């Protein structure tokens, strides 16, 4: 029996799945390149978000935020919680705490899993600066 040859998106997704969440510096450029190729195949804004988060690892949050802004107008992301959580995290890392707080608020509102909501609430409450405290 011959080994199965993968092509298209699965051929690009497989190596990404095998890389840890914190790849060595030598692999970070490769990760972004894999996401570039996958994005070209699929046109998915979710792939663009994942690419931006990978880019943050070696180019910084500012560059990643620029990349995520490029897909921000995609209507499919308006109610996609991971987009808002990723945006909030990147904004926080760039020091835009007020904007990060608002993005976390949207992510929290979209999330149905109580454990994930609590995680996002903790991330939001850890931001420096004034908090929205009900009167």
Instruction: Indicate the number of domains in the chain.
Output: 1
User: Using one digit for the tens of pLDDT, what is the confidence trace for 22-37?
Assistant: 555 555 567 888 888 8
**Structural domain boundaries enclosing 115:** 9-125
Q: Using the predicted structure, report yes or no on whether residue 9 has a pLDDT greater than 90.
A: no
The answer to whether residue 98 is domain-embedded is yes
The answer to whether residue 25 is domain-embedded is yes
Q: Using the predicted structure, report yes or no on whether residue 94 has a pLDDT greater than 90.
A: yes
The answer to whether residue 43 is domain-embedded is yes
Q: What's the mean pLDDT when you consider all of the chain? A: 83
Instruction: Output the domain CATH number for residue 47.
Output: 1.25.40.10
What percent of the chain has pLDDT above 70? 74
User: Using one digit for the tens of pLDDT, what is the confidence trace for 41-71?
Assistant: 888 999 999 899 989 988 999 999 999 999 9
The answer to whether residue 119 is domain-embedded is yes
Work out the burial of residue 17: count CB atoms within 10 Å of its CB; fewer than 13 is exposed, 13-18 middle, 19 or more buried.
Answer: exposed
């Amino acid at each position: 029996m011959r080994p199965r040859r993968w092509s298209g998106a699965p051929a690009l997704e497989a190596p990404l799945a095998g890389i840890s969440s914190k790849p060595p510096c030598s692999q970070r450029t490769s990760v972004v390149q894999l996401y570039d190729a996958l994005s070209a195949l699929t046109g998915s804004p979710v792939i663009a978000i994942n690419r931006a988060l990978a880019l943050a690892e070696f180019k910084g949050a500012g560059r990643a935020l620029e990349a995520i802004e490029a897909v921000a107008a995609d209507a499919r992301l308006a109610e996609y919680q991971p987009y808002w959580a990723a945006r909030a995290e990147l904004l926080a890392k760039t020091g835009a705490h007020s904007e990060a707080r608002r993005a976390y608020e949207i992510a929290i509102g979209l999330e149905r899993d109580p454990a994930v909501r609590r995680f996002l609430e903790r991330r939001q409450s850890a931001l420096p600066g004034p908090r929205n405290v009900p009167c």
